[in-house]
Amino acid sequence: MEDFRQLEHIAREIRKDILLMLNRARSGHSGGSLSVVDILVALYFGGILTYDPKNPDWEDRDRVVLSKGHACPAWYAVLSRAGFFERELLWTLRKLGSPLQGHPDARKLPGVDASTGSLGNGITQAVGIALAARVLKKRYKVFCIMGDGELQEGVVWEAFMSAAHYNLSNLIVIIDYNGLQIDGKVMDVMGIAPLKDKLEAFGFRTFEIGGHVYKNLIDTLITAKRNVISPTAIIARTVKGYGVSFMANRAEYHGVPPSDEELKKALEELGNGV
């Protein structure tokens, strides 16, 4: 796909859905949902993932684990648009009885391959799912999307170590590297640099790309899918709150939804036209 305008259009629509969902839920994580959108759009609409929304448990499907589970509004909007469930369901986010839990629940929502939310838990499960492919002789890939702050959890490095030890070339870790976490800049709270060196030292074939540039995302994901030697890590440089000027690069919007006024302003920025 050489023309990425269609993907960019979808991403704008997803961002609008996210803001509407969070505004109606009156809680949730704006910043990290907006930063991860293009990664998800590239996976689901850029021809990378093998999936069938009518058969979400299809055993040959590629798996997606959102290890940074708090960004699930973005995933929910993408899953809905990909046909896993009705769009109307989006407006039930975080409400009692909704399958759209505050953090992803695999037992409640089709398309969610593992329950996540407690940081570091997603990657350990992703390693297990990737390892299972070996036992079951399956060819599916496992895409695990992580936050950069999440990498501070020690179990993440246990999981990385085991992925390399078992040569899980079907595991592709994508790091939504927006540089911010709740308490401020990642480098100030607990630095993770030099990240590329660390990942390579842990046995990952590692790429560093712009996380809002579709050509970069698609090309790198295709390369990662073809890798048969080692697990892959993609450090996708993103901007927290991307797409909404007053949220961009601001840690304050990590766990805060847009107010009615902010929503109006944000939707105008993203373009109210369909």
Partner 1 sequence: MEYKATREAYGKALCELGKKDSSVVVLDADLSGSTKSKEFKKLFPDRFFNMGIAESNMVGVSAGLALSGLKPYASSFAVFITGRAFEIVRQSVCYQNLHVVLCGSHSGVSVGEDGGSHQAVSDIALMRSLPNMKVIVPSDYNETYMAVLATFDMEGPVYIRTSRAKSPIITNKDKFEFGRADVLKEGKDITVVACGMMVSISLEAAQLLRNSGIDAEVINASSIKPLDEETLVSSVRKTGRVVTVEEHSIIGGLGGAVCELLSKENPVPVERIGLNDVFGESGSKEDLFCKYGFTKEAVAERVKKFLNG
Which residues contact partner 1 (rule: CB under 8 A)? 59, 106-107, 113-115, 117-118, 121, 123-133, 135-136, 154-155, 158-159, 161-162, 165-166
Strands 180-181 and 142-147: unpaired
| Beta carbon of residue 32, minimum distance to partner 1 (angstroms, whole number) | 19
| Beta carbon of residue 30, minimum distance to partner 1 (angstroms, whole number) | 24
Which of 45, 49, 57 minimizes the C-alpha distance to 113?
57
Nearer to partner 1, 155 or 190 (CB): 155
| Beta carbon of residue 109, minimum distance to partner 1 (angstroms, whole number) | 12
| Beta carbon of residue 168, minimum distance to partner 1 (angstroms, whole number) | 10
d(CA 63, CA 144): 8
Nearer to partner 1, 123 or 234 (CB): 123
Nearer to partner 1, 109 or 218 (CB): 109
CA distances in angstroms from 159 to 13, 35, 231, 235, listed in the order given: 34, 24, 11, 17
d(CA 134, CA 141): 11
d(CA 63, CA 81): 17
Yes or no: say if 150 and 120 are a contact pair by the CB < 8 Å rule: yes
| Beta carbon of residue 7, minimum distance to partner 1 (angstroms, whole number) | 29
Nearer to partner 1, 34 or 126 (CB): 126
DSSP-derived letter for residue 186 is H
Nearer to partner 1, 140 or 242 (CB): 140
